[in-house]
Chain A
Amino acid sequence: MSARSIRNKLAPYALVFPGWVWLMIFFVVPIVAMLSVSTMTGNDLEGFKQTWHLGTYADAWNQFHDRIIRSLIYGIVATAICLLIGYPVAYWIAFRGGKYKSSLLFLLLLPFFVSFVIRTLSWQFMLGDSGLIHGALHGIHVEHGLFTVLRALNLADTDGQYTQTNMAVIGGLVYNFLPFAILPIYVSLERVQPVLLEASADLYASKTLAFLKVVFPLSIPGLFASVLLTFVPVASDYVDAQILGGTHQTMIGTVIDTQYITDLQYPTAAALSFILMAILLIGVFVYARVLGTEDALEMAAA
């Protein structure tokens, strides 16, 4: 083989090489290191030794499973609300935005110019017991009714208290992650060509039917991506629960943080991270199977 042909043969591999190195250093190595830490035993003072102690996983699950399950429920509810609000918004911007499209998208992204923590803190301020919202709703006498509903849904506990409730945490999560739900849907709706709508009208489809048979199926990849981009970070978020939550709203992210930083219990923290990651991965794969298109994965990657 000539030198040239060897070079040509190696070229494609050389081109993907940086990508592989990147994945190796920033993904495979940390994951494997974490996996290895999760089966160690010991303490910070004497050090941690690899003893292949799998019991840590069982202990971690037994001790913290209710907080993992709570995080997943928050994730599912917040994602569902994000989609319910986000889909119409994305639809409206894509089909009715006209020349204001880019301004509208800019408005969506505008909150990102202020730190996530500060925006959440400002909600704490507004929802406080003597905050704006309490004052306004109390003034128009709808508050008692509202709390009857919230209590029935297990979203609030005491009359007149918005913060430190499930509602506040889920609300904070929806607020913070809504743009991540809207943007991918927008991208997929934006790609739907108007000629398709004309064609469906030519074939006597009503507007509703056209939406159900043409527009919605074409937006599924976007929907898929938006579920991924919302559900995964929401389930592992811990800022909202810490600021807006109270005594029974702790999410698993906070627990992992405490195990790492305060308690220096690296094995427990690593095991919890893995349990969470495994649950999320399985969930995502099942979800991908059900929705089941190559398209969807490609869209998610895009």
Chain B
Amino acid sequence: MSEEMRPDLSPDLLRGLTQPRLSRRRMMQMGGLSALGLALSACSIKGTQPNAGSGTGTAATTGGGGDSMWGQQRAIEKFWTGYTKADGQLNFANWPLYMDVDPDDDSVHPSLDEFTKKSGIKVKYDEVIDEDDTYYAKIAPLLKAGRSTGYDLMVITNGIELDALITRDYLLPLDQTRMPNFYAQASDLVKDPSYDRGNVFTMAWQSGITGIAYNPKKVGKKITSWQDLLDPALKGKIGMFADNQDLPGCALCAVGVNPETSTPADWQKAADWLIKQQPLVRKYYSQDYIGDLKAGNTWVSMAWSGDVFQANASGAELEFIVPKEGALIWTDNMCIPRYADHPLDAMTYMDYVYQPEVAATLDDYINYFTPVPAARDIYLQEAADAKKSGDKEGEDYYNGLANSPLIFPTAQDLTLLHRYRVLTQDELTQWNALFQPIVQA
């Protein structure tokens, strides 16, 4: 473009536009320098280990090496005495299909409405947790930065993520004086559990089994053992989980080891078992294994007990078994994330659900192990009432609930059920390196 063509442009501007631009080499040099500078300035990622002995604001630390146990106890008490009245608001993060719903409107939860009526606490209920690891990945950065997650109550499975929340001091210790229903009604299974001694941080929401579900019509024989999942006749029809707790845990059961006390040598055996099985497996599921099982894409699959109960309630004909070598039992736990805005409201709700009537209402829908054995009496009472009024269907229904081993586990089942292995950070790295390549081949 010549100057005659654009007399309105000053020669200086034109020169600015036409001056030699930065050469490529110069560009690279500048880029390299700035990159180096930035790299140096971002030269570490802070750990998440709580600092020993330092109190964090109003809340008490738990991992603190400098604090005596009594000191911690007093700090927890002091924190809770600061709360005398509930705020009237509870923000609750839970998993999908984990709360009763109105048959006509999925967004209405009758038991929560009942709670609001009784306590005056409004509940914002969100089904935001799909998997423990992804949810943990979402909230951990907030908690690390000392910010509220926006929730006062969340439900986390015992295992790697719950251990991480506890060791990193991301949970609020519970007020032991505000859980009378829990101590009166909770089953032995969830009282003082190995993953949270003394129920310092958690109260159970529901428990369940990870075992085997199968379609008897398609398989054509009874499945009783993990070794049945090595049967070549089932090639391409076997579903396994993709997670890093249930799958290794079940494989450990399969090789005859109690996962809870397993050693790295046992892990290798379990991994070998899984590798042997791999050619027969259709898919390692991280979601919707039950859909494929119902649709017949898989005939036999690792499964969670309650899912099978729900699938059968909606017309599927699946069978759930605890294999003779044993299976896993897990517990989903209510806990209060640190920096929660309404901790007392959360405390109130957590203890509230330990009343037998409330527990019975919830489990009528959820169908996992209730932490409240007395809920069974409520079902039996309902069945008796139905019988009196001549309602045969109602009677059968409530008797079914009361006698379901998927809601009230039998003593025999319980002897076969094991908890997850609690892993240290180094063990976890080793564990993942062993089992993940099998799932993500």
Contacts from A to B (Cβ < 8 Å):
4-5, 8-13, 28-29, 32-33, 35-37, 40, 42-50, 63, 67, 125, 128-131, 157-158, 161, 163-164, 242, 245-248, 250, 254-255, 258, 260-266
Contact = CB atoms under 8 A, between A and B. Distances in A.
Nearest to B235: A158
B296 A45 contact: no
Contacts of B38: 28-29, 32-33, 36
Given A45-B47, A164-B282, A247-B283, A9 B13 contact: yes
B119 interface: no
Contacts of A28: 31, 34-35, 38
Interface stretch (B304-312, B369-377, B396-404, B432-440): B432-440
B297 A261 contact: no
Nearest to A31: B35
B235 to A, nearest CB: 7
B133 A48 contact: no
A247 B235 contact: no
A263 B47 contact: no
B435 to A, nearest CB: 11
B12 interface: yes
A63 B48 contact: no
Nearest to A121: B288
B440 A255 contact: yes
A8 B10 CA distance: 8
A35 B35 contact: yes
A211 B34 CA distance: 49
Interface in B28-78: 31, 34-35, 38-39, 42-49
A45 B13 contact: no
A36 B16 contact: no
Contact of A262 (B35, B49, B244): B244
B236 interface: yes
A43 B297 contact: no
Nearest to A266: B45
Contacts of B244: 262
B5 interface: no
Contact of A12 (B13, B35, B429): B13
B155 to A, nearest CB: 19
27 contacts: A8-B13, A9-B12, A9-B13, A9-B16, A10-B16, A12-B13, A32-B35, A32-B42, A33-B42, A36-B39, A40-B44, A45-B47, A50-B44, A128-B292, A129-B297, A130-B295, A164-B282, A164-B283, A246-B283, A247-B281, A247-B441, A255-B440, A260-B137, A261-B137, A262-B432, A263-B432, A263-B436
A200 B168 CA distance: 74
Contacts of B168: 45
A251 to B, nearest CB: 9
A46 B47 contact: yes
Given A49-B44, A247-B279, 6 more contacts: A35-B39, A44-B164, A46-B425, A247-B278, A250-B441, A266-B45
B284 interface: yes
Nearest to A261: B137
B134 A261 contact: yes
Nearest to A36: B39
A79 B441 CA distance: 23
A87 to B, nearest CB: 34
B96 to A, nearest CB: 15
A266 B432 CA distance: 14
A260 B432 CA distance: 13
A9 B168 CA distance: 56
Contacts of B437: 63
Interface in B7-29: 10, 12-13, 15-17
B58 to A, nearest CB: 24
B45 A47 contact: yes
Q: Which 10 A-B pairs have the closest CB atoms?
A: A47-B47, A50-B43, A48-B45, A8-B13, A36-B39, A250-B440, A158-B236, A46-B47, A262-B133, A5-B12
A254 B134 contact: no
